């Protein structure tokens, strides 16, 4: 692919600035490196198959923000949640707020590899930005929280982060008449200042942190001139030869799954392996979104890489081979320097030109139901090819055995987290079988602990 040399020259200093951008939050000079979108004349490399319509569909932004049925997003709740996010009374010492680390002007991250915690030591992991979490399936780098509501108590009670106690916070806030009034407005049916309502309000606010559209979204919407030729070439590499879209997929560029990408810095942090108590998931961390990443350096769960160029260099030549390495990575990736630059240029097109501000409360909010996508079929055996339970819903009799066969190339882990039935398989290697019997009637949700987007509904009757 031909590259305009002027653009290549200009892309270099710009890339170097990416790392500093989050800290400086200065857009000065960024415009220079942005290629003139009007110049785009790139055609796909002859012989390569780039199905633009397919990828436009894959990366299309949703129209509505989901919210759980028991915590619909309302303006009153969002306003309260925003205030709580800034309120140091959530911490033990009354000195730290959520926004101390998740700084709005830094895309709700903090610009450092690992922030110094209350004990004076760096935290175990990097502070992630909080964009687009309404669509998240699990939270934290290791997915240990399963909803935004559930997540809130972790930082409050983490002795290195806020060192507080959410019950004490509720008591303290309840002494404040202004706060009581705000809770009463936000929670009309249950107007108390409780840990649950604090969590609901903060989660409702977080759901409004939707990143604004970028030039890439204009391309998705059909504007072929929105991307420069380098950015378009980078997109083709991303979904093609470089294999990035195997994990960074969908409009947020994450599969919400856990992968070991072979970082040389892997230390004692087991990541998902420790949450699942499953060595097969050691060194696996949640695939981060790639939106607005120009503004959120440094990168990775340990903040060990300073620039997007460094991240690309990791995938090209520094992947450590070990048994837990994700099978979704290209086995040996070779990219020329020019191709790496194009990939970085594409990644930058997923970021706003200026430090982004949240889109805010949408006019319409969709309720995410737990309804099944597909009607259940009676089937004794379920497959897992391509990270999909097939069929996706089964009808069974009480006591009947359900067999799940791993006909995929990846290791899975079948789990049920239900008060009626708690179940976790061992690491289910390709070819492995897991058998589950249900002691009770009703509907049960099975997921894969490593790829939580895999969902299987079992409807059990007498
Ligand atoms: C001292 C810094 C600090 C404070 C204060 C803090 N966080 Fe965090 N936050 C982090 C770090 C570090 C992580 C990643 C930890 C991990 O993955 O184990 C994180 C992760 C998260 C995540 C998960 C994001 C994702 O992509 O999965 C959410 C949501 C979040 N924090 C919200 C909050 C809220 C709400 C508060 C206030 C109640 C808060 N944080 C306070 C540092 C902080
Ligand atoms: C096997 C799945 C997988 C593939 C394929 C993959 N990634 Fe990643 N990516 C991840 C995971 C998981 C992380 C976080 C790893 C960690 O922190 O330990 C990550 C992190 C990143 C980050 C850092 C984001 C941040 O906020 O910290 C960038 C940028 C990135 N990947 C870009 C790419 C590019 C470009 C490609 C293609 C060359 C690619 N990825 C291929 C799973 C993948």
Residue 180's pLDDT is what?
Answer: 97
Note the ligand closest to the C-alpha atom of 289.
2
Per-residue pLDDT of the chain (462 residues; tens, 9 = 90+): 333 333 333 333 333 333 333 333 333 322 233 333 333 444 444 445 899 999 999 999 998 899 999 999 999 999 999 999 999 999 999 999 999 999 999 999 999 999 999 989 999 999 999 999 999 999 999 999 999 999 999 999 999 999 999 999 999 999 999 999 999 999 999 999 999 999 999 999 999 999 999 999 999 999 999 999 999 999 999 999 999 999 999 999 999 999 999 999 888 999 999 999 999 999 999 999 999 999 999 999 999 999 999 999 999 989 999 999 999 999 899 999 999 999 999 999 999 999 998 876 654 444 343 445 567 888 779 999 999 999 999 999 999 999 999 999 999 999 999 999 999 999 999 999 999 999 899 999 999 999 999 999 999 999
d(CA 335, CA 340): 6
Domain 5-62+213-255+285-322+329-348 belongs in CATH node 1.10.760.10: yes
Atom of ligand 1 lying closest to residue 202 CA: 35
455-461 and 393-397 beta bridge pairing: parallel
Q: Report the residue among 102, 233, 248 best suited for mutation to probe ligand 2: largest number of ligand atoms under 8 A from its CB.
A: 248
Measured in Å, residue 22 CA sits from the centre of ligand 1 at: 18
CATH class of 65-207: mainly alpha
DSSP line for 177-211:
HHHHHHHHHH-TTS----HHHHHHHHHHHHHT-PP
Q: Which fold has domain 381-461?
A: Immunoglobulin-like (2.60.40)
The answer to whether 340 and 312 have CB atoms below 8 angstroms apart is yes
The answer to whether 81 and 71 have CB atoms below 8 angstroms apart is no
Query: Which residues, in sequence order, are bridge partners of residue 252?
Result: none
Residues of the chain with CATH 1.10.760.10: 5-62+213-255+285-322+329-348, 65-207
381-383 and 401-405 beta bridge pairing: parallel
Q: In what order do the strands lie in the sheet with 381-383?
A: 381-383, 401-405, 433-437
Exposure on the CB side of residue 377, measured as CA atoms within 13 A = 10
Residue 1's pLDDT is what?
Answer: 38
Q: For the whole prediction, is pTM greater than 0.85? A: yes
Residue 359's pLDDT is what?
Answer: 77
Residue 17's pLDDT is what?
Answer: 36
Measured in Å, residue 288 CA sits from the centre of ligand 2 at: 7
> For atom 39 of ligand 1, which residue has the closest CA?
98
Name residues contacting ligand 2 (CB within 6 A).
242-244, 246-248, 259, 261, 263, 285, 287-288, 290, 293, 296, 299-301, 308, 311-312, 315, 326, 328-329, 343, 347
d(CA 351, CA 225): 17
Atom of ligand 2 lying closest to residue 302 CA: 17
Cβ-based neighbours of 154, under 8 Å, separated by 6 or more: 140, 144, 145
Residues of the chain with CATH 2.60.40.420: 381-461
DSSP line for 63-131:
SSEEEETTS---HHHHHHHHHHHT-GGGSSSS---HHHHSBGGGTTB-SSSS-B-TTSSB-SS-----T
**Tokens standing for 136?**
């998240």
Residue 362's pLDDT is what?
Answer: 54
Note the ligand closest to the C-alpha atom of 330.
2
Length of the chain: 462
**Number of helices and strands (H, E) in the chain?**
15, 12
Note the ligand closest to the C-alpha atom of 263.
2
Residue 380's pLDDT is what?
Answer: 78
Note the ligand closest to the C-alpha atom of 235.
2
Phi, psi of 367 (to 5 degrees): -90, 125
Measured in Å, residue 195 CA sits from the centre of ligand 2 at: 35
Termini Cα distance of the chain: 63
């Amino acid at each position: 692919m031909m590259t305009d040399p002027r653009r290549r020259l200009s892309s270099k200093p710009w890339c170097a600035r990416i790392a500093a951008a989050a800290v400086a939050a200065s857009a000065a000079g960024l415009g220079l490196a942005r290629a003139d979108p009007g110049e785009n004349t790139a055609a796909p490399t002859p012989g390569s198959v780039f199905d633009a319509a397919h990828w436009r569909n894959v990366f299309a932004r949703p129209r509505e923000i989901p919210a759980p049925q028991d915590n619909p997003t309302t303006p009153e709740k969002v306003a309260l949640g925003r205030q709580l996010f800034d309120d140091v009374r959530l911490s033990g010492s009354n000195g730290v707020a959520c926004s101390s680390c998740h700084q709005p002007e830094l895309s709700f991250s903090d610009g450092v590899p690992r922030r110094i915690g209350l004990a004076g030591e760096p935290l175990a992991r990097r502070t992630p930005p909080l964009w687009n979490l309404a669509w998240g399936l699990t939270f934290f780098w290791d997915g240990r929280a399963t909803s935004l509501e559930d997540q809130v108590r972790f930082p409050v009670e983490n002795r290195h982060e806020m060192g507080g106690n959410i019950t004490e916070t509720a008591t303290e806030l309840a002494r404040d008449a202004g706060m009581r009034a705000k809770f009463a407005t936000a929670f009309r049916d249950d107007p108390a200042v409780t840990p649950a309502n604090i969590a609901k309000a903060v989660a409702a606010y977080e759901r409004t942190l939707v990143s604004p559209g970028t030039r890439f979204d204009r391309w998705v919407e059909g504007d072929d001139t929105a991307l420069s030729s380098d950015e378009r070439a980078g997109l083709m590499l991303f979904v093609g030869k470089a294999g990035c879209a195997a994990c960074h997929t969908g409009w947020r560029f994450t599969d919400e799954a856990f992968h070991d990408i072979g970082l040389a810095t892997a230390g004692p942090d087991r990541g998902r392996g420790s949450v699942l108590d499953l060595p097969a998931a050691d060194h696996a961390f949640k695939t981060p979104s790639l939106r607005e990443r120009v503004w959120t350096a440094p990168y990775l769960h340990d903040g060990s890489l300073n620039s997007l160029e460094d991240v690309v260099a990791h995938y090209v030549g520094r992947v450590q081979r070990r048994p837990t390495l994700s099978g979704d990575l290209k086995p040996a990736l070779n990219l020329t320097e020019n191709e790496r630059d194009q990939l970085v240029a594409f990644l930058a097109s997923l970021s706003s030109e200026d430090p982004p501000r949240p889109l805010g409360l949408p006019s319409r909010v969709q309720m995410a139901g737990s309804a099944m996508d597909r009607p259940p079929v009676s089937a004794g055996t379920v497959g897992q090819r391509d990270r999909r339970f097939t069929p996706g819903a089964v009808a069974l009799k009480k006591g009947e055995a359900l067999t799940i066969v791993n006909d995929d190339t990846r290791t899975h882990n079948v789990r049920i987290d239900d008060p009626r039935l708690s179940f976790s398989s061992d690491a289910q290697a390709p070819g492995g079988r897991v058998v589950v019997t249900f002691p009770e009637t009703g509907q049960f949700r099975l997921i894969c602990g490593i790829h939580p987007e895999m969902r299987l509904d079992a409807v059990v009757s007498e």
